[in-house]
Amino acid sequence: MRAMTYLTDSLRYSPRNPWTLEEMGALQLRRTRGPTDSRLPMVAVRSANVNFHMALRERPTSPVAWANLALTKLYLGEQDDELFAALRHADELGPWEFEIQQLVLFVSLAAWDKLGTDQRAATVRTLERAAQRDAEKTVKLVGSFKRLDLLCDIKNAKLKVEEACSRLRKPTAKRSSRAR
């Protein structure tokens, strides 16, 4: 709460400061993890969404703001063109920033069924870059969405998903042999 107070005070002096708006939005998103009353988190997510929009008006090249905007859109249940554009911008502007990669992957995997072919391909490329940086965290994230199949074609010895991939491929091989 003290940090929010400092950020609010800071906005009185510089109301459109993009860093302050991004930080305030990030703190608002963190607040959604605690309360049990579902109305409180949604208010915080909406406020964070507004702050990220305002920050992007001032600094449209911030991959952090784009990634967090996509996250707020996901939490609000707004899987629309704005969410997909935010994912693209975040990925293009922060391709090697692991925190951005994680957010892009999280939102993309959560909205996988709504992604177009190009966006799915971009997600797999982000997955490859993330696996280079931290294979263990990447496997955990992808595994939490039960999409280890996306890792099977990635050439990275650190992934250690060979066993899972071979299990995923076995049913396919059995089906094709039965079809003959």
- Write the pLDDT tens digit of every residue in 24-41: 888 888 877 654 556 658
Tell me the per-residue pLDDT of 140-161, one tens digit each, with 9 for 90 and over.
Answer: 999 999 999 999 888 888 888 8
Q: What distance in Å separates the CA atoms of residue 62 and residue 18, rounded to the nearest whole number?
A: 9
Q: Which residue has the higher pLDDT, 43 or 168?
A: 43
Among the residue ranges 12-26, 63-77, 98-112, the one predicted with the least confidence is 12-26
Q: What distance in Å separates the CA atoms of residue 7 and residue 29, rounded to the nearest whole number?
A: 15
pLDDT at 132 over 70: yes
Q: What distance in Å separates the CA atoms of residue 178 and residue 180, rounded to the nearest whole number?
A: 5
Mean pLDDT of 66-70: 97
Residue 85 is predicted with a pLDDT of: 98
Q: How far apart are the first and last CA of the chain?
A: 66
User: What is the number of alpha carbons within 13 Å of residue 70 lying toward its C-beta?
Assistant: 27
Q: Which residue has the higher pLDDT, 68 or 43?
A: 68
Residue 171 is predicted with a pLDDT of: 59
pLDDT at 127 over 70: yes
Residue 34 is predicted with a pLDDT of: 52
Q: What is the mean pLDDT of the chain?
A: 87
pLDDT at 163 over 50: yes
CB 119 within 8 A of CB 87: yes
Nearest Cα to Cα of residue 20 among 38, 5, 35 = 5
| Residue 115 C-alpha from the chain's centroid | 13
Residue 33 is predicted with a pLDDT of: 64
Residue 152: other Cβ atoms inside 10 A: 14
Residue with tokens 């959560």: 110
Percent of the chain with pLDDT over 70: 88
Mean pLDDT of 5-23: 81
